[in-house]
Amino acid sequence: MKKSNSQSRASRSESAGTQSPWFVRFVLKFLVFCAGLAASAALLMVIALSIAWPNLPDLAAMTDYKPRVPLRVYTADKVMIGEFGEERRNVLRFNEFPDVLKSAILAAEDDRFYEHGGIDWLGVARAGLANVAAMSKSQGASTITMQVARNFYLSSEKTYTRKFYELLLTYKIESSLTKDQILELYLNQIFLGRRAYGFAAAARTYFGKEVNDLTPAQAAMLAGIPKAPSRYNPVSNMSRAVARQHYVLGRMHSLGYLTDSEYEAALKEPIVLQSGNTSGSAANGYANLHGEYAAELARLLMFSLYGDDVYSRGLNVYTTIRSDDQEWAWQSLREGVLGYTRRAVYPGPIGQVNLPDGLENNPEKFDEFMDQVLEQYPDVSGFQTAVVLQASPTSVTVAKSSHDIITIDDKKLIGVIARSLNAKNKGQPQIVRGSVVTINKMPDGAWEILNLPEVQGAFVSMRPQDGAIQSMVGGFDFYQGHFNRVTQAWRQPGSAFKPFIYAAALERGLTPATEISDQPFELTAAQTGSNRGWKPRNYGNAYDVSLTMRQALAKSRNMVSIRILQAISPQYAQEYITRFGFEAEKHPPYLPMALGSGAVSPLQLAAGFAVFANGGYRVDPYLIDYVTDAEGQVLMRADPTVAGDAAARVIDPRTAYVMDDLLRGVAQYGTAARASATLKRRDIAGKTGTTNNAVDAWFAGYTPHLVGVAWLGFDQPKSLGSRETGGGVSLPIWMGYMEHALQRYPEEPRPAPPSGLIVQGQNMYFSEYPPEESVTRLGLDAKKDSIDDLLESLGVTEQSVNFIPAEELTD
């Protein structure tokens, strides 16, 4: 038996010996394959490096600390509203930053910054383990050098190519600059929210002090912002900023940057933001005043003069904007847009996430969860993102963070979103646990669930004496698009254009007392000269037998306006309106011009109404008052046309006086009667305007000292809704601004009528058209009140009538 076992072992040994060469060959081939693969990978890497490395940004600019002084834009009362330049930062040297700030940044962002070579592999491993344990991306491993590479030299797109370039650039930065230089760059250029770049600017923006005066508590709060500037800055979200600050202070303490007593004192120190943080001042760097549209327009005007040099010459542009007026205008327009949005149908949540039961009871985990939500649904346009914790038909509880949990149960606020709280509304997205919603803080401090507005608006005000623009808001949110609707949006003015047609009629012999038919009429296709007829109507299909010019303007009757235009001829009206600054080509000489079917911008309409406000003078709007160089020397100063200059007169002073009287009637007992009643003034004049299907809503109004125009509509024209009018949506915006702005202008009695104007009670006549010679009736003498009779009574042939297709008409 033993012999048999020995033979067996010998046999296996012999068999193994015969297989060894094959196994060795396999191993050798595998090793050769791996070596070839590695060589190929190395070759590819060398090729990639040879291609990518020369394309990396030049780092010379990183060490060039000769900052070009930017273009700065100020209001008339010297509040900064814009800064434009290649460097929008207050650059300091490394040793000018306090050690406590440097320590806070290292503790918050990269405590091994002085030990690693740009990529902290130990940190990468630690973050990877933490993320695997948490089953989510709860930690990152970006170093300060990687942030410099990512934020200042590369795009933010999330691709492998960008990541590859980021790693290469990180190594290039580390090999080219010292650690202190890299940290200096970070300190000077990182974005810290509220339009502040660099910690020196942020210290002034948030605390109104120089960076060297920061306390450990303030340094820790600033150091916590770069992680998410929109969420961790103390103006937008104090509670999250404080939570982040406490984390940074804890890290500073554990790393030995703060003693026990310093740590405890910093935790107890109250955070006091600079006084007036919501409005800003010229002394604290960037102002928080909402003057972006005006600042951008000033920039464009300066660029047209200086080109790219404007961003490095240190020019200071002082505009005509008043900071208080600007903020009132912004607030009023915002509330007008939000008011319309509340009345519109709530579209539902902006998203839905899987919110585990009870997660909100774990503050740390919930805040990590919210960070991920906010990365996908960031705060925008003053709206904040929140996740619904609980929803019922009577209340909704939402959370912005573990420390910000809000319950909304006000019946009025719940009513706005009621359709999304009733499961019976099939097809309506519902608000449930895990719904992502946008919330808005109302002026009274209450929170509401509201969708980001789709509707847009514009508001502008100016002095009628010289055209100085006092406020300008070109849209709901400048940062969602720089399109300035005050100057760039060309919209149909609707009935807001009627005063200019009435003014032309006054100089053709009509008077406020002229009786004009208000009866409906219809034109055939043959009469319009097109392939369809035209049947204009009054708003609400309300008609009278006849109205005086005064009554018709107050009630904004379309039938009367059309008859007036036909009486004076569209061609004459087209020429006449150019006196107010309107462009003839944008107002074709057709009858619908009487209903405002042309195109105007809000600023152009404001300038037109200024002619009525100042007694008949055309003053061009202007924004820039004067410009100085970096040393304060005045380089240019505006020389505006002033009302009273005979060369600027464009209409008869009597026409201006009578139109002012008629427009005051509109604001006292007409479609804008709410203006005088609410503001309790009798020197207000103006006109509402609503175009066909309520696509555009206007109010243009003024006093002797201030003109304002408000517009509301969609950028892609569509109806605001059958119940929306200029008096309903735009007049409140105008009043919201004027209730503040007019406080500095006491009401004044009307001046005496100009020479050559005969006043008999409410009736007014030009001396060349006395009562017995003026036009007393229009469209009322024929037995049958048809357009044919009207044309015949006026001596107008059918061939002289001009029309446009019916679908282009406005109410």
**Of 343, 201, 360, the residue nearest 712 (C-alpha):** 343
Q: Which two three-digit tokens encode residue 453?
A: 């507005």
Do 530 and 803 contact (CB within 8 A), yes or no?
A: yes
- Cβ contacts of 252-256, under 8 Å, gap ≥ 24: 252/103, 252/104, 252/107, 252/216, 252/220, 255/103, 255/106, 255/107, 255/111
Q: Which two three-digit tokens encode residue 687?
A: 């006109």
Give the phi and the psi of residue 780 in degrees, each rounded to 5: -120, -5
Which distant-in-sequence residues (6+ apart) come within 8 Å of 804 by Cβ?
Answer: 530, 588, 590, 592, 597
Which distant-in-sequence residues (6+ apart) come within 8 Å of 395 by Cβ?
Answer: 407, 408, 409, 414
Which value, in Å, is the radius of gyration of the alpha carbons in the chain?
35
Whether the CA torsion 441, 442, 445, 448 is positive or negative: it is negative
Do 774 and 546 contact (CB within 8 A), yes or no?
A: no
Instruction: Tell me the pairing of strands 71-74 and 316-319.
Output: parallel
Whether the CA torsion 752, 757, 759, 765 is positive or negative: it is negative
Give the phi and the psi of residue 293 in degrees, each rounded to 5: -65, -40
Burial class (CB in 10 A: 0-12, 13-18, 19+), 795: exposed
- Maximum Cα–Cα distance across the chain: 151
Q: How far apart are CA 428 and CA 450, in angstroms?
A: 15
- Taking CA atoms, 40 is separated from 32, 36, 163, 475, 794, in Å, by 12, 6, 22, 57, 93
Do 623 and 507 contact (CB within 8 A), yes or no?
A: no
Instruction: Tell me the pairing of strands 510-517 and 775-778.
Output: parallel
Do 156 and 44 contact (CB within 8 A), yes or no?
A: no
**Of 672, 674, 714, 673, the residue nearest 695 (C-alpha):** 714
Catalytic annotation, residues:
109, 495
Give the phi and the psi of residue 438 in degrees, each rounded to 5: -105, 140
**Of 785, 116, 807, 731, the residue nearest 457 (C-alpha):** 731
Q: How far apart are CA 323 and CA 471, in angstroms?
A: 8
